[in-house]
């Protein structure tokens, strides 16, 4: 199971890629921010931090179920939803 699959889904929607191919878009809750992993960065940036945040994840249009497109470290649920609505105009959120 990937890290993305282990995080709770707090909102999910469907967006039509090229107005024809449905892809799922998820807002995930994370108990920590993701660091860069780069040893040359300051430790605060390089290492994961125990700060709750949200991620935006979407499926690959050619590989349903593969949520390989991620935007991590979003400060709030509202920021994550707003970003999703900007990147995926017309997204249809599920209840």
pLDDT digits (tens, 9 = 90+) for 12-61: 999 999 999 999 999 999 997 676 677 787 777 666 667 799 999 999 99
Rounded to two decimals, the pTM is: 0.85
pLDDT at 95 over 80: no
Rounded to an integer, what distance in angstroms lies between the CA atom of residue 40 and that of residue 50? Answer: 20
DSSP characters for 21-56? EEEEEEEEEESSBPP---TTS-HHHHS-BS--EEEE
Domain residue extents for the chain:
3-90
Top-confidence range, 17-21, 31-35, 70-74, 78-82: 78-82
Does pLDDT of 7 surpass 90? yes
Contacts of 93 (CB under 8 A, 6+ apart): 11, 12, 13
- What residues contact 24, with CB distance under 8 A and at least 6 apart? 12, 13, 14, 58, 59, 64, 67
């Amino acid at each position: 199971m990937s890290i993305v699959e282990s995080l709770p889904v707090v909102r999910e929607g469907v967006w039509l890629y090229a107005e024809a191919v449905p892809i799922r878009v998820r807002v995930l809750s994370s108990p920590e921010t993701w660091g860069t992993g780069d040893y040359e960065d300051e430790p605060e940036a390089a290492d994961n931090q125990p700060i709750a945040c949200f991620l935006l994840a979407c499926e690959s249009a050619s590989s349903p179920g593969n949520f390989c497109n991620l935007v991590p470290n979003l400060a709030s649920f509202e920021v994550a939803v707003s970003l999703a609505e900007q990147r995926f105009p017309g997204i249809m959120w599920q209840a």
